[in-house]
Amino acid sequence: MTVNPFDADRPPEVSRTGGRRRRGGGRRRDDSLMVPDVQFDSYYGRQVVKPAPWESDIPAYIFLGGLAAGSGLLGAGATARDLPALRRNSRYAALAALAAGGIALVRDLGKPSRALNMMRTVKLTSPMSVGSWILTAFGAFAGLAAASEAGRHLVDDDSGLGRVRRLADPVAATGSALLAPPLAAYTAVLLADTATPSWHESYRELPFVFVGSANAAAAGLALVTAPTSQTGPARKLAVAGAATELVAFAQMERTMGDLVAEPLHSGRAGALLKASKILTVGGALGAALFGRNRAAAAVSGLALMAGSACTRFGIFEAGIESAKDPRYTVTPQRERLERRRAQGVTHDSITTSRQ
């Protein structure tokens, strides 16, 4: 027993009765009195992750950006194949879709100055910062391509402006082709970089889903607007884009796991994604089998564009719903923790102890 100046303030000790308990004696432990393993179903009735404060302008921007990217790529291919109608329509479509997507983005941000503020810095670790510069660079090449296309009918090729136009045309086509895949994919990286469960867990395959969907949509628009004699590249791109989207989406579902993939199959998101598969498959088959028929090509093209839009809106809705239910956040975290424990990794988690 220690003696110090504060002993006078201590309450008197209560003497123990019954002597010292023998080792191994006393009541036997009843397993029924042990606390059972917790089965998580809520976090005090609250959300763990706050849903993204985005409205429908964001999935519309994602769709239109993908449509612009695919059209830019298709326009470059038409330039190489010397298909003037397909080249013209694809170039104008790329610029128009990009402008419409920019309007949707500004509407979500609230005012144009906020969009301009994103261009004040370059942060390579930020998908939003990198994506803003990709969007701007693609817009410059898409605008140059559209201007070159308009100049074919406004400027004499033998004049000074005509020579400049001829020099600028391949530069615009090449720039659009090189920046098209990053423009189509960066929005997937942006979604996956959030804490929203269904977006975050799809980070491996979602860029491929978006790139395939963008190509399918652009090919669909070309099937609607271009003569069938020049839509050969569009038909091939439609099949390739649809196949890429469907295969990547199926792999994404397997990688995400049954629980986190649940929002992809339920509610409004499930209905949109189911419609997307039907429209994408139908549009690709129609383009491949009946693409030389004008009416069939137009119907197939509309189906491909509608399927692409349903994909973007469906994935967006699934992510919002997954953030509202804490099961989709906590359960995958626990599963990852258990896998790390099984591998012997216990030194870098605040919920585990060093063995």
Q: For the chain, what is the largest distance between any 2 Cα atoms, rounded to a whole number of angstroms?
A: 114
User: What residue type is 333 in one-letter code?
Assistant: Q
| Residue 299 placed within a domain | yes
Please give the pLDDT value at position 157.
82
Structural domain boundaries, residue 68? 57-328
- Tell me the C-alpha distance between 194 and 251, whole Å: 21
| pLDDT value of residue 344 | 78
Beta-carbon contacts of residue 257 (< 8 Å; ≥ 6 apart): 201, 332, 335
Under 8 Å between Cβ of 262 and 244: no
Cα(101)–Cα(64) distance, integer angstroms: 5
Query: What pLDDT is recorded for position 158?
Result: 81
Residue 350 lies in a domain: no
In a domain, 71, yes or no: yes
Mean pLDDT of each 10-residue bin along the chain, 355 residues long: 59 60 54 57 70 94 98 97 96 98 94 87 90 96 96 87 92 97 96 94 96 98 97 97 98 93 95 98 98 97 98 97 88 79 71 41
> Shortest CA distance to 264 belongs to which of 197, 194, 332, 334?
197
In Å, what is the CA distance from 315 to each residue of 3, 61, 264?
69, 13, 7
Domain count within the chain? 1
Res 155: pLDDT:
86
Q: Provide the pLDDT for residue 334.
A: 79
The CATH code of the domain that includes 89 is 1.20.1630.10
Token pair belonging to 44: 């005090």
In this prediction the pTM is: 0.84
Q: Comparing C-alpha atoms, which of 263, 254, 218 is closest to residue 238?
A: 218
At residue 115, the pLDDT reads 85
Q: Residue 342 domain-assigned?
A: no
Q: Is residue 201 part of a domain?
A: yes
